[in-house]
Amino acid sequence: MFRTKRSGLVRRLWRSRAPVEGDGEADRGTHGSGGCCMGKTTKVAKSNAGSEAELKALTHSILKKIKEKQLELLLQAVESKGGARSPCLLLPSKVDAKVGQQSYSLPMLLYKVFRWPDLRHSSELKRLSCCESYGKVNPELVCCNPHHMSRLCELESPPPPYSRYPMDYLKPPDSPDSGPSSSETGGTTYSAPVGLSDSLALQESGERAHWCVVAYWEEKTRVGRLYSVQESSLDIFYDLPQGNGFCLGQLCSENKSQLVQMVRAKIGYGIQLTREPDGVWVYNRSCYPIFIKSATLDNPDSRTLLVHKVFPGFSIKAFDYDKAGNLQRPNDHEFTQQPRTGFTVQISFVKGWGQCYTRQFISSCPCWLEVIFNTR
């Protein structure tokens, strides 16, 4: 039987759809179809044969109406799981599709099929800044590339007690009843001055001003120099097919720990750090969770900082400019101990820290980042 190239592309796309619970791959939690931040997961039961057949028929019908060149671009994005750079897939935004009693817009259907089977509403999504449709309201043509989207990481309130990181640990070592020193907690009081000298040297040499610098750590040892960031978006990765940014795999590490080497290999596509008008966003591009601690993710009146778990495919506003301004108070130990470099965000790959983990401090985590913001 004669089969067209278009039909072949459609079949390959269907085979590359996102798994649901019961497909094996989905059970490993590597594709970001879970919940976010506080460890709460949302699972999707595997659909019955009838709805699966209906979804397959509908998806095939829609995909066959798309131009071959666009199908090839979509396939590239889906098969590389976002690792390869792919352009926008601009399609009409008004087309609706119906599965059972539920109606979806064309973009929503493609996002559900190829990224998040449990996706319920477009309000759960955040468009990445690399997308042509970013910042546009109700355009006639909208980007339907599933890997130009991320899932919003919504903070839960109140958070469970185990995720809290005591502010007392951030007291100066000579404070009465102080907790562990900053070198034990992985705080910035011992790393920020080094980073500042590196970054000041860059400015004095004539390079344009940076908005942040990034330090990569393996346990208590910083690996490589600080990476100064001038562009609005930065990929931080270990192994990315078309990577352009901070490649951790190229750094010379002397750490022989099997755990460090295992976690390092799991960083994969890593994260994307993006400066946007409302703050700095972190998008988890890897296949494993990341863990983030930032003062602007917390209640300003809280004496504790939270460690947030961010699943693959999710984005979180890790640093909020407005909140940061309000947090600069004389009694905030987190900031008075950083008199020149301002604020930091700490990000651990794969392994978390805090009271519900064996690692109490981030300096015990195998592979982690410190993002130091230039607030001047």
Which pLDDT does position 130 carry in this prediction? 85
The secondary structure element, H or E, covering residue 281 is strand 279-284
Which pLDDT does position 187 carry in this prediction? 39
SS3 292: strand
Structural domains in the chain? 5-9+51-152 (3.90.520.10), 212-329+338-373 (2.60.200.10)
Which pLDDT does position 376 carry in this prediction? 61
Sheet of strand 314-320, all strands in order from the earlier edge strand to the far edge: 125-127, 149-152, 314-320, 279-284, 271-276, 233-237, 245-247
Which pLDDT does position 328 carry in this prediction? 57
Render pLDDT for 28-56 as a digit per residue (tens, 0 to 9).
444 433 334 544 444 445 555 557 888 88
Q: Please count the CA atoms within 13 angstroms of the CA of 20 that sit on its side-chain side.
A: 11
DSSP 224: E
Which pLDDT does position 40 carry in this prediction? 43
Sheet of strand 221-229, all strands in order from the earlier edge strand to the far edge: 164-166, 304-310, 290-293, 344-349, 368-373, 212-218, 221-229
The secondary structure element, H or E, covering residue 263 is helix 258-266
Give this prediction's pTM: 0.80
Tokens standing for residue 88: 């926008």
Enumerate the β-bridge partners of residue 212.
Answer: 229, 373
